[in-house]
Amino acid sequence: MKMKRNGFSLIELMITLALGTLVVLGVVSLFISNLKTHNLQKNLRDIQQQSLVGLENIVHDLRKTGYQVTSHPQQLGVVLEAEGNMPASCNGCTGPEGEEPRSDRVTIAFDVEVDTAIEEDTDADTAPRDCEGNQITSTKRLVQTYWLDDEKALRCASSEGSNPEKGVVLIKGVRSFQALYGVDGKPRNGIAEVTQYLNAAQLNAEAAENWQTTAIRIGYLVEVETEEGQTVQDDSSHTYYLLDEEVEVDGEASVGAKEKVRRQFIRTIPLRNFNGDEV
């Protein structure tokens, strides 16, 4: 007598195999998506930590623009004409050649007050310093300039430094650095306001004499490569609107090239060091 054996038919096995494959593909797809999100968030966090320190240093110094102790007011503020080896503010004048749009340069002047009778002003740990870290030992006028070099590093140099074309690196991996100057086009009405923003070319000597510069707006786009083998979700062609410029990036990387993560930062710095009778 033959015994009846129960089992799966070929069709049932194929259906089971197909369903199992779909489940595995779904799990793998979810894992890859989560990995990309994790990598993206990690790189964005690294960019922010690196950039915010440099940004706060820039903002701290720009707030001093025009501060007066002993200098004539006309010698302070936004510098529009080169002074010795210190370049003037300009637009589209820095950064790698052939890369559009080119980046701006911001040069400012302000007085630094040092009272030798105050311990904090003479102690090496608390004394005033310029953006390069040089200690200021006496009250004087200081000129500082910020620009993007050919290696895409945002730099700062001081009139107290030894080389205005080198200075120190504030932020690395900057794709574009732009600046605008807020001016008060309604002088002597008792209200300090921004009626329009101009670039350095528009803020010519005549405008600077007739209008008060009441704010500086800076913006920069940071671009960093991911680690070997990392994939991210935002490495695609995109247009960034950075103040008055459009920065286009191409996300189609060449074979073997690393993907990139980008983030833009924009900050407006109100200026308060001006003659109140002129606003």
pLDDT digits 0-9 by tens, 220-267: 998 877 665 445 445 567 888 888 888 888 765 543 456 777 888 899
In angstroms, the Cα distances linking 83 to 143, 148, 164, 223 are 9, 19, 11, 33
**Beta-sheet strand order (sheet of 212-225):** 196-198, 174-184, 212-225, 260-270
Q: Which residue has the tokens 């001081």?
A: 158
Grouping H, G, I as helix, E, B as strand and the rest as coil, residue 222 is strand
Residue range 38-80, pLDDT digits in tens? 666 666 676 666 777 788 888 999 999 989 888 888 888 899 8
- pLDDT at position 1 is 53
Enclosing H/E stretch for 40: helix 10-62
Enclosing H/E stretch for 121: helix 119-122
Grouping H, G, I as helix, E, B as strand and the rest as coil, residue 219 is strand
Grouping H, G, I as helix, E, B as strand and the rest as coil, residue 267 is strand
Structure token pair of residue 231: 């994939």
For residues 106 and 92, the answer to whether their CB atoms sit within 8 Å is no
Residue range 160-177, pLDDT digits in tens? 988 888 899 998 889 899
Report whether pLDDT(26) > 90: no
